[in-house]
Amino acid sequence: MNAIVTSMIANLYAEPNGTSELIDELLYGMPVQIIEELDDYWLHVQTTYQYQGYCRKVNLLRDNVKTSAWRLEATHVISQSFADILQHPRIQSSKLITLVKGSIVRDLQDEALDSQWASIQLATGERGYLRKKWMTEKIADNSLSEQEFRENVVQTALSYITTPYRWGGKSPLGIDCSGLCSMAYMLNGVLIFRDAKIVEGFPIKEIALAQMQKGDLLYFPGHVALYIGDSLYVHASLDGNEVNINSLNAQHPLYREDLATTITAVGSYFAD
């Protein structure tokens, strides 16, 4: 059985218990596979990026047919940190739901609307409206050059600067280190492993530190960051309590010795 996330954010837990560890967040419109129905409240699910955990039933629309159609037709994502989906195409309208960056919607391509507005369909079938500039088409087939892709990944990661740190988080409401890196890639059409390690079967491969370029990933014990060039990296830092920038250069004011001296691996999407 397949399903679609129908809440702004659906928590993914390590155990079928609301007090267990938050291991990931599922954003609106994301499809998931249901592995097992546990009881009246909980489902064991797997994401499109092969991450498993437990989610409350109330956050999902369970329907194989609708999920299959949604995968094909829901081709746009929210690109703004937050976007209110309104009942009518005017700013004074009441809202249906608020969505965060990375949420998936279907663009109804209503050409009769004022150019600043877009009409979308929600996973529940409701029609709503938002500012057109607040969503963009999902990247499915990357035709960019390597350097263009690397720069886009960096700029996407930097768009989360000052986002509060949240263990298991993956949105502008709060994000953790692997959530930041995985969203930087996901929003550019590439699904990488969700945790702070390189895993076989995913597109990030280990390279030498000397080969590192913009957009590559730096791994530390229990932590991951995204390299942005000039010895700088962006990461969701538990110590800093937000997404910020630090340096590998000991002469730089943003240098962090605890990280610069404990690099365990460097990973790249463009490894030979």
Q: Clarify whether 223 is annotated catalytic.
A: yes
Comparing 100 with 238, which gets the higher pLDDT? 100
Quick one: average pLDDT of 246-266? 97
Is the pLDDT score of 31 beyond 90?
A: yes
At 239, is the pLDDT very low, low, confident or very high (cuts 50, 70, 90)?
A: confident
| pLDDT 10s digits, 98-155 | 999 999 999 999 888 888 999 999 999 999 999 999 999 998 767 789 999 999 999 9
Quick one: average pLDDT of 191-204? 95
Is the pLDDT score of 238 beyond 90?
A: no
Q: CATH number for the 2-73 domain, one of 2.30.30.40, 1.10.357.10, 2.40.110.10, 2.60.120.620?
A: 2.30.30.40
Residue 265: per-residue pLDDT = 98
Give me the catalytic one of 55, 76, 181, 235. 235
Residue 122: per-residue pLDDT = 98
Alpha-carbon torsion angle 250, 255, 259, 263, nearest 10: -50
Cα 78 from Cα 134, distance rounded (Å): 6
Quick one: average pLDDT of 159-188? 97
Can 80-137 and 146-268 be said to share one CATH topology?
Answer: no
Burial-class residue 228 by CB neighbours within 10 Å (0-12, 13-18, 19+).
buried
Of 10, 6, 103, give the one whose Cα is nearest residue 56.
10
Q: Clarify whether 76 is annotated catalytic.
A: no
Q: Clarify whether 252 is annotated catalytic.
A: no
Provide the whole-model pTM: 0.95
Average pLDDT over the chain, rounded to an integer: 96
**Tokens standing for 1?**
């059985």
Give me the catalytic one of 55, 76, 181, 223. 223
**DSSP secondary structure string for all residues of 42-103:** EEEEEETTS-EEEEEGGGEEE-HHHHHHHHHH--EEE-SSEEEEESSSSTTSPEEEEEETT-
Cα 135 from Cα 259, distance rounded (Å): 35
Alpha-carbon torsion angle 201, 62, 67, 178, nearest 10: -40
Residue 240: per-residue pLDDT = 80
Residue 179: per-residue pLDDT = 98
Residue 272: per-residue pLDDT = 72
Residue matched to tokens 């990973």: 267
Residue 112: per-residue pLDDT = 83
- At 246, which amino acid appears? N
Cα dist from 191 to 3, 135, 256, whole Å: 19, 20, 29
Cα 200 from Cα 205, distance rounded (Å): 8
| pLDDT 10s digits, 60-86 | 999 999 999 999 999 999 999 999 999
Q: Spell out the domain ranges in the chain.
A: 2-73, 80-137, 146-268
Residue 38: per-residue pLDDT = 94
Give me the catalytic one of 55, 76, 177, 181. 177
Domain 80-137 belongs in CATH node 1.20.120.1200: no
Residue 140: per-residue pLDDT = 73
Which fold would CATH assign to domain 146-268?
endopeptidase fold (from Nostoc punctiforme) (3.90.1720)
Of 89-93, 231-235, 268-272, the one with minimum mean pLDDT is: 268-272
Quick one: average pLDDT of 80-97? 96
